[in-house]
Structure 1
């Protein structure tokens, strides 16, 4: 991503749910990426349009229950909803380490060390959430929020109390980029990998979280299609104009389109989710569909003359 070295006025990152809400609500302290954090300071968090399924939500909630329990925190309160296609709030990026370094950093809580699941770990503090999430489309990588949007968003922020407040210490307080890959081994040469005794529940939760987290790893800069509403997910996935690579809207009818993974409804309580079903949810659906196709072919072949007249 060639824009990583640039500076942003109002940097924003689009993330999938449930990770986006978990970060803004102060439960998630580490944002995992395949590339190092290109900035320090405030980072706006936007929830992508892909609706998370129940299994993914459960896997991540179970993961955080288990790793917080290692530090004695057992009363986690998870978000009631995981809205999509919304600007949710912001956090402060204070550093970035490789996973191997994070697991060796004894100066942070054990649960934080267990949270590193990807190559690069962005260290996040000071979560703030929007009282009213703002509907918007996202983009790939880190991008700038429009000035008017960011100004409006700042006025709607409220601080969030993390379940286990703490601060990542900078090796050099005068240099915001001093906490970077390689800095921990220099500052704490005696650091060792985490040796916490993992229970079967913790091991299972970590394995499930890894599977859930890496499901998008090969699609970092590709596109994901919208999904169906799921438990405690707010969604008004309205059709919108797709964008081309230059960021300008195509002049074409509104359609449901794929949305980027590094990506992109304010749900009113008066709206209820309609029941949706996928063809794959029914084990007999493929056979029924195949039978229907065969029936159509048979009907068309019964009387070719009639078929020709009908045309």
Structure 2
């Protein structure tokens, strides 16, 4: 790939250095010399050691766990670049935290996703780039451009490599029908839905499967695995309903609480997830990582060159 003009600058926070390096390598563009550290009391210490005046700056920082640490670090990086007279500042957030609280669904609760949007803009973001936001309507919280990428192209390549015959795409809840339908269309597969009731934030009750999975190879797709309750139960019920091979494909592997144990106990033969969140601690035994670095790198390139980003959706 040809070298970029000098005015493009990639700045990496500390949330996911491996992904930042992979994006840098995919773009053949070096990371900016920057210090992102901590004072003895834990406060975040940031200094950009290169001249960024007038440059097109992209801050690589998913707001993954520890969410609050990475969020504040991102805000300080944006403020630092704004005060250093950067030309344009894009917050590149492969994983967008606080997206699950996108509305006031009961009394006396915050709309956390709106707070996230407000603070990013006030701190200096001119643009946001993210992947598979949990609630796509959050884009409407911004009065700046939001480029919402989908991990479907890279996950589809990984699924096709498994050579599943007679596949059926399954969504573990009705909220994921749109995503599942897109996968089914791309794979020329049928669609099925696992009907469930949520009892609490970490507990669900699966009712039944809508659609035919008996004797079929099943691909369960979702935007994230948090505690693993929904998706592991979905894998169990499709197997109990007669499915042959069961594959899980998700964008964000948050993997908190009992997620690893639940996934290890579920009947899925492989769990595909992208690298939007760094892998730390124990991982599921059948886990396979799929890199989004080329996708993000191409999106950054297109934004920098004022080219279409939407063509990357296919």
- Short-chain TM bin: under 0.3
Structure with higher Rg: it is 1
Report the structure, 1 or 2, having the larger strand content. 2
With the length of structure 1 as denominator, give the TM-score of the two structures.
0.23
Higher relative contact order (CA 8 A, sep 6+): 1
